[in-house]
Amino acid sequence: MSGNAADRIARAPVWVRYGLIGGLIAFGSTLAANLAITLLRPVDLCRAGPGSLLLLNLGAVIILVWMAASAGFITGRRAGSVGQATLSGVVVGFIAGLALVALIPFTSTTMHRLQELSTQCPDAGGSFSFGFGTPPPGVIATPPPGFSTPPPEAFAPPTGVVGDVIMAVGLLFTISFGIGLAAGAAALAGLVGVASKPQARPG
C-alpha cells in the first residue's frame, strides 16, 4: 500500500507534491512550538522567561513562510506558473493550520500551565498571564507599570457555547491568516522561480 501511495504522490501535480512536503514540515514545527509550554518543566520555562515562548512561535511562523516560499519557488521553476506556485503555498498553509486543530485537546492543559507559570514565576512580572480570550501560547500580555493585576479567575476564558464560538472564530481566523501568508510567500517566490526557469532552446 505504501508503494501505491508513493506512486499516487509521484503522479500528483507538482504544486501538490511540494505543498505536501513543505506543509508537513510546517505542521511539525507549529505543533512543537505550541506544545513546548506543556512539555517543558515550569522551572525551565521560568528560567527562560516568557520571551522563549514568543521566539518558539515566531520560529514556527518563519518556518511556515520559508516552506511556502520554497514550495512556490520550486513549483514556479518546474511548472512555469505563478498560479500553481500560489496553490502550493495554500497547501502548505492549510496543512500547517491543521496543527492548530490538533492542539484543541491540549487547550485546557495549556491554560492550566499558564496559571502555574503566573504563580511560580514571580520574576516574570505577570508576563505569563493572558488577557481575555484564549490567545496562542507565546503571546505576552504584560500589564503597564502601576497596574493592579486582578486575580486569575478574572481572566478566565468564557465557557460553554460562547467559549466554543469564540475559540472556533479565533481558530478559523488564525488558519485563514496563515494560509494567506503562505500563499503570498509562495506567489512571490513563484515569480522568481518562473523567471529563473531555463528556457527551451529552439531546435
> Is 201 among the domain residues?
no
Distance CA 5, CA 156 (A): 46
> Is 106 among the domain residues?
yes
Which pTM value belongs to this model?
0.74
Distance CA 117, CA 13 (A): 47
Domains: count for the chain: 1
Is the torsion defined by CA of 7, 8, 13, 15 positive or negative?
negative
Distance CA 7, CA 67 (A): 23
> Is 203 among the domain residues?
no
Q: What is the pLDDT along the chain (203 residues), one digit of tens a residue?
A: 455 656 666 678 899 999 999 999 999 999 998 888 888 777 777 777 777 778 888 999 999 999 999 999 999 999 989 999 999 999 999 999 999 999 888 888 888 887 777 777 765 544 554 333 444 444 444 444 544 444 444 444 555 677 678 888 988 999 999 999 999 999 999 999 999 877 755 54
> Is 200 among the domain residues?
no
> Is 40 among the domain residues?
yes
> Is 171 among the domain residues?
yes
Range of the domain at 39: 2-195
C-alpha cell at 126: 505577570
> Is 159 among the domain residues?
yes
